[in-house]
Structure 1
């Protein structure tokens, strides 16, 4: 249990996935933007996926059950195994993804697991969250953005926050991946060191000079949604919210 910034209200809808292209563009500090317009991906559903994993060495040294393999592959001693964070007995990790939105008619709000504000794909805000993944399973958490209504969307900010009593971002190896309807997927790794950060503004979408631009943000903060709101000037009214424990 823990408390986070929550907003009142919310709706739900249907959705479909976007591109499954095998190629990828990684957004970095030196190359922070990509134009969806130039790659012809301004229609259909933009799928935004959050996944994370942990090194087994972060918890038990990563050496259990490997002694026989080390004789055959001695260099594996220096390469910690990667494990999916959905193994509850191994690690307690809960990253949540959300999206602050502003529509062209001035409507502002948030889509996020907290408060079950899962959004709507076919009506405003044209954003739908697939649900709350507590353990970073293979599918992770996914947002769907209906770009058939891109002219009604002024700006979006996709963010991730760490749920209470979980490791820091630099130990979660989190990745946010965007899958446009056409063209290569867009990857934004959250691999910068921010040991005590609780939230991260990951990527923004905004129309700039007639082009729909995806911009890498990767700005870590030590608070939650209200602090991201202040940083980006959304102007929402926030209160404390809670997540209930699933059986």
Structure 2
């Protein structure tokens, strides 16, 4: 049974020590959304065969306990790494929402992270989150599931800081953020990771 984080500020704690010395807990993050095309897309775009399906990207800004910082996302083609730092890996870029399992990211060594801000970015297909029914699910290898919906969107803001995962001692906390921004830089200014941003495409 999944635990639902209903409003911004709701959180759930995971005890890493319960995994035991022989097994490392892993965290699986899933982003999924409504696969229907944008009903407001223009007539000529449809006539020319344009793909009007919303394209959402799952990504994260992270900081490790040793001070390493980075961004993992389809934009720019940084999918992270499974077996080396930061031990965070993105499985694919689902550009149409056609993949039934959406986009997935994995934290293989939660003990090495200080904080990870998971975000959903609308790359194209719709101006904001009002029509896409965005939702995020955290599956922990100990069987716990934490679910949150992106159900309080801001108009014309395509970037949603969905959740913050932080590590304090032997506990990992998953906090529902659901804060909306105009883009990466505005979100970074708020969370103070301190990255330098340039325009990109895929």
Q: Same fold (TM over 0.5)?
A: yes
Q: Equivalent residue for 2:30?
A: 49
Are 1:236 and 2:198 counterparts?
Answer: no
TM-score for both structures, normalised by structure 1: 0.70
TM-score for both structures, normalised by structure 2: 0.85
Listed as ranges, the matches of 1:69-148 within 5 Å are 91-136=52-97, 137-146=99-108
CA RMSD of aligned residues (A): 2.5
Instruction: Output the CA distance in 1 between the equivalents of 2:115 and 2:5.
Output: 19
1:153 CA displacement: 1.1
Q: Which has the larger radius of gyration?
A: 1
Stretches (4+) displaced over 6 A: none
Instruction: Output the CA distance in 2 between the equivalents of 1:173 and 1:39.
Output: 35
* Offset from partner CA, 1:173-221 (integer Å, 9 cap, x none): 0111111001331111001131211101011111235421111100011
* Offset from partner CA, 1:72-125 (integer Å, 9 cap, x none): xxxxxxxxxxxxxxxx98942100010111011111001100111000011011
Q: Which moved more, 1:32-41 or 1:197-206?
A: 32-41
Q: Which moved more, 1:37-46 or 1:91-100?
A: 37-46
Q: Report the structure, 1 or 2, having the larger helix content.
A: 1
Structure 1 portions without partners, runs of 5+: 1-22, 61-87
Counterpart pick for 1:179 among 116, 139, 146: 139
Alpha carbons of structure 1 residues 233 and 194: separation in structure 2 relative to 1, 3 Å = same
Structure 2 portions without partners, runs of 5+: 41-48
Count of residues in Structure 1 that have an aligned counterpart in Structure 2? 190
